[in-house]
Amino acid sequence: MRRRVVSVALLIGSCLLLATCGSPDSAADKAKIAELQAENDKLKAQLAALQSNGAAAATNTASNSAAGTPAPSPAFSDISGIEGETHLKDLATLGVLDGTFSDKFDPRTPIKRADYVRWLVKTSAVYFPGDNKNRIRFAQEGDTPTFVDVPATDANFKYIQGMANAGYVVGVDKTHFAPAQPLTREQMIGIKAQVDEGSSISKYNGDIKGFLDYSDKYQINDAYADAVHEDNTARTTHNISRVWGNIKTFNPQKSVTRAEAAITLAELYDTKAADVVNKPKSQAR
């Protein structure tokens, strides 16, 4: 991008010089103008090549999007040495993550609820292409919105409504999703554990929190307690331990960072990001 801007700036500068030189009064003037014209022609050719490459990239991106395959995410410059770096690189390669500005991922910034669901549904599409059993399908034009704060015109409608269409409980209540709110730990596990199991979490008829080992287990919202308990079973990908390790305090209402959210997506149902990245194309589902 910087090379393109510099080229354009030089091109404009050369054109201005040519326009203001007027008629040459000496051999030196003529030589200078000839030099500027040659440089101008060279820059025009470079600019044309850059524009052609940009158009080709845009065409490839559009083709990938139409096929349901995200284009690779940018190489993030701010994830070196952080927990989950390898997972983030794999997910970026698969095109399911997006940065916050240019090449920045901002791993320690809280993630919004809408962003997490978008990443999750995109991950499902990449892990299980053509697999109608496990893949979460995008909502289609004409689908009736479940949430009043995620209308069909919302950029994230196809992801959020896609999860609702699949029967997953993802709202903060039956009619509100709160897309711009920071995702909390209990909310993330409430969403992810369902997808790992392929269905909504059954409610336990009793004190499910009593089975948890966290010192703050009774601070967990009733709506997410069953999912938090379920996350420790063999039917999920053990998101809590994969993200935070062997913790004794869960901090259920604490905001989830973008890096923590991404780590949960490194495993989905029975599939890992690393395996998808390294899978030969001939073996793709």
Residue 151 in tokens? 């209308």
Q: Spell out where the chain has E strands.
A: 267-268, 271-272
Q: What is the pLDDT of residue 219?
A: 98
**Model confidence pLDDT, tens digit, residues 48-82:** 544 444 433 333 333 344 445 566 666 888 999 99
230 by DSSP, 3-state: which? helix
Q: How distant, in Å, are the alpha carbons of 28, 56, 160, 164 from that of 136?
A: 70, 30, 10, 10
Q: What is the amino acid identity at position 159? A: Y
* Arithmetic mean of pLDDT over the chain: 83
Out of 95-104, 246-255, 266-275, pick the least confident. Answer: 95-104
Q: What is the pLDDT of residue 132?
A: 78
Mean pLDDT calculated for residue range 91-97: 93
Q: Higher model confidence: residue 20 or residue 181?
A: 181
DSSP string, 190-227: HHHHHHHHTSPPPPPSS-GGGG---TTGGGS-HHHHHH
Q: Higher model confidence: residue 61 or residue 184?
A: 184
Tell how far CA 177 is from the center of its chain: 19
In this structure, what are the phi and psi dihedrals at residue 36, rounded to the nearest 5 degrees? Answer: -65, -40
Q: What is the pLDDT of residue 50?
A: 44
Residue 87 in tokens? 């997972």
Mean pLDDT calculated for residue range 127-136: 88
Instruction: Report how far residue 232's alpha carbon sits from residue 247's, in angstroms, rounded to the nearest whole number.
Output: 12
Which neighbouring-strand residues pair with 160? Answer: none
Q: For residue 53, with 0-12 CB atoms within 10 Å meaning exposed, 13-18 middle and 19 or more buried, which class applies? A: exposed
Out of 4-13, 85-94, 128-137, 227-236, pick the least confident. Answer: 4-13
Mean pLDDT calculated for residue range 26-39: 70
Q: What is the pLDDT of residue 64?
A: 42
Count CB-CB contacts under 10 A for residue 14. 20
Closest CA relative to residue 152, chosen from 171, 170, 139? 139
Mean pLDDT calculated for residue range 96-107: 84
SS3 for 144-186 is CCCCCCCCCCCCCHHHHHHHHHCCCCCCCCCCCCCCCCECEHH
Instruction: Report how far residue 258's alpha carbon sits from residue 155's, in angstroms, rounded to the nearest whole number.
Output: 19
Mean pLDDT calculated for residue range 100-104: 76
Mean pLDDT calculated for residue range 182-206: 95
Mean pLDDT calculated for residue range 15-23: 45
**Model confidence pLDDT, tens digit, residues 203-234:** 999 999 999 999 999 999 999 999 999 998 88
